[in-house]
Chain A
Amino acid sequence: MAETTYVEAIRQGIWEEMERDDTVFVMGEDVATYGGAFKITKGLLERFGELRVVDTPLAESAIVGAGTGAAINGLRPVLEMQFADFMACGFDQITNFAAKCRYRWGQAIPMVIRAPAGGNIHGGPFHSQNVEMPYVHTPGLKVVQPSTAYDAKGLIKAAIRDDDPVIYLEHKYLYRSVKEELPAEDYTVPIGKAGVCREGSDISIITYGWMVHVALEAAEAAAGEGISAEVLDLRTLVPLDREAILDTAKKTSKVILLHEDTLTGGLGGELAGIISEHAFDYLDGPLVRVAAPDTPVPFSEALERAFLPSVEEILAKVRWLHRF
């Protein structure tokens, strides 16, 4: 059976949900005729028609607002932000209205906002950011980021079926760099469930997105040095799988919190808080954060390489913590 890329997995997930439920529609800039900047929506127009695959003016706030209004009136919008960075232009609609509807007036907003995120593609300051935290910090939103093709498909399908607004962050570097065989039958990956993608006993690395793959490389290298590292892929950032986080922390007693997002105010601090509050007695060393430095994402290859957390950087922290 042929392998399916991450980008194709998302496309298949949307396609299948549109076949399954005629209230599901796609809206965004350049998504119809052009098939999307990253070709996630390629072919949808031909299959589902212009009523359900909708090109919009260049106006992110109006896209999010229109999606929210459509969700109020019985549809299930799947919105595309051309880059996650530009989701900031719809921030008010997302955080001040969509996220609060259920709490304010009991109105469900079953809406997915897809946002291509992350770096390592030489995108520079406007096309590489990891923008999850403002949304993680907004009650009422769910936030997911798959790291594999299997999860990409399973999570987009789960997000479309979810009755709350879901921010679906897809990593641009993974679009065509990861692939695998996918089940032929219908499946979803539950929102709110993390997954151990490498078992280990000495150290846990908790991460998500592209960094899962970097962590796995570091874990493999550590194994060569006799250090057994476990890698936990969060998959969902809201709601966090606290049980899985605490299980791995209690199991290895040494935890590295890794993300591609910048350090200050990043998810690592929140994870450290959870572990410290609920598993402090199990820890044999400090909670260690590995993250990008607190700068915009630079363009030049030399600068971007220095900016992004690397296998070497993680490995150095693994060795240090192992000796602790």
Chain B
Amino acid sequence: MSTPAVAHLQTEFDRDLCERFHYYMLLMRELEDRIENKLYRQGKVVGGCYTGRGQEAIPVGSAILSRPGDWLTPSHRDMAALLIRGITPEEILAQYMGRATGLTKGRDGNMHMGCSERHCVPIISSIGASIPIAGGLAFAMRYRGESNVVFNYSGDGASSRGDWHEGLNMAAVMNLPIVYLCNNNLYAYSTPLDKQMKVADIADRVAGYGIPAEIVNGNDVLAIYEASKRGVEHARAGKGPYFIECKTFRMSGHSAHDPADYVPNQLREEWSRKDPILMLQKYMVENLGADEQDFVDMRKRVLDKISEAVEWALEQPLPDPATLEDDVYASE
């Protein structure tokens, strides 16, 4: 069982950048693990519980390139994008627990959160709907003559929605500054890719809209970073949208309730050997002088941070029922 080697590096990856990748990937992995495998089972988190286990490289390798003026529209498997934008584990846990201090004040649950100040649009559950939204965010950037870009995240399932096609087409026609990160994790809930589309790659669909698309190893954070950099430079330079299909695998069910027994064991085992965090660690050991103890120390730091955040979140108040009807409309 060997972790595959990283191929075709064009960017110089220094220790500092790799440690940031490592930190955010690990924080997402462990925070979601705590939520799904502890808090959810203990009944402290209720409702849906979606994770991006095995897909951490995608939000990390891309969102780390975002500037303050950029906007992000993460999907439900992109928690690290929120963390990179400065949303804290405390805020995320309060959200999952439906507390008044969560990002939606208890009005929405789990990964359905966003923040205007930190430029993160919350997930829209009608998957694919964020594609036209990204278009509007980017339209406003161009309207004001900014060089900002939108990072849009979606998955393979989204590419069957009408909104996906309408949104990509409009962005192409209007030449809007958007980098699309598509996590093609082979399953949309229980539906495998061959029941989702007839073409081999989602990039084939994108070609029909005249948008440049590339396919990368979605478990290789360095490859995602390089591709995102190309995409962001393209978009910032006014050359229009750019699409990155990240081949990956969902190492969980659709949600915590789903054992995903429709996934062949062999497939899961195959992908478990390509774990994105292990891949990065291997690179750091072979090229940057990191050792096992560094990773143990980092993991302890992350776990301690999460434990403190859980304690804080559990102390947070539930929303006051008297606020039920607030904020449906602007107050006069």
Interface residues, chain A, with chain B CB atoms under 8 Å away = 25, 51-52, 54, 56-57, 59, 61-75, 77, 92-93, 96-97, 102-108, 139-140, 142, 162-164, 239
Contact = CB atoms under 8 A, between A and B. Distances in A.
A102 B327 contact: yes
B329 A25 contact: no
Given A71-B136, A105-B115, A62 B169 contact: yes
Contact of B114 (A65, A69, A105): A105
B134 to A, nearest CB: 6
A72 B137 contact: yes
10 contacts: A57-B169, A65-B133, A69-B135, A69-B140, A70-B139, A73-B139, A77-B136, A92-B163, A104-B108, A139-B328
A68 B103 contact: no
Contacts of A97: 124, 126, 129, 133
Given A72-B133, A103-B107, A96 B114 contact: no
Given A73-B141, A104-B107, A62 B166 contact: yes
Given A54-B174, A75-B143, A97-B133, 13 more contacts: A57-B169, A59-B170, A62-B163, A62-B169, A65-B129, A70-B143, A72-B137, A75-B139, A92-B126, A102-B328, A106-B327, A107-B114, A140-B329
Contacts of A51: 142-143
Given A65-B136, A73-B140, A93-B129, A57 B166 contact: yes
Contacts of B136: 65-73, 77
Interface string B132-172: 11111111111110000000000000000011001101100
B71 interface: yes
Nearest to A77: B136
B125 interface: yes
Nearest to A75: B140
Nearest to B114: A105
Contacts of B139: 54, 66, 69-70, 73, 75
Given A62-B135, A66-B170, A69-B136, A103 B327 contact: yes
A51 B145 CA distance: 11
Contacts, number: 133
A66 B135 contact: yes
Contacts of B162: 61
A62 B121 CA distance: 17
Given A25-B143, A57-B173, A104-B122, A65 B328 contact: no
B53 interface: no
Interface string B53-95: 0000000000000000001000000000000000000000000
B328 A93 contact: no
B112 interface: yes
A105 B113 contact: yes
B1 interface: no
Interface residues of B, number: 42
Most-contacted residue by chain B among A65, A92, A106 (CB, 10 A):
A65
Contact of B166 (A59, A73, A239): A59
B131 A65 contact: yes
A96 B131 contact: no
Nearest to A142: B329
B116 A105 contact: yes
Interface string B169-205: 1100110000000000000000000000000000000
Contacts of A63: 132
Contacts of B329: 102, 140, 142, 164, 239
A57 B209 CA distance: 12
Contact of B104 (A54, A71, A77, A104): A104
B267 interface: no
A82 B134 CA distance: 23
A310 B149 CA distance: 55
A96 B129 contact: yes
A108 B330 contact: yes
A69 B134 CA distance: 6
Contacts of A70: 136-137, 139-140, 143
Contacts of B327: 102-103, 106
Given A62-B135, A66-B132, A103-B327, A72 B116 contact: yes
A46 to B, nearest CB: 19
Nearest to A25: B143
Contacts of B103: 105
Contact of B330 (A61, A92, A102): A102
A56 B170 contact: yes
B313 to A, nearest CB: 18
Nearest to B115: A105
Interface in B254-278: none
Contacts of A108: 330
Interface in B277-332: 327-330
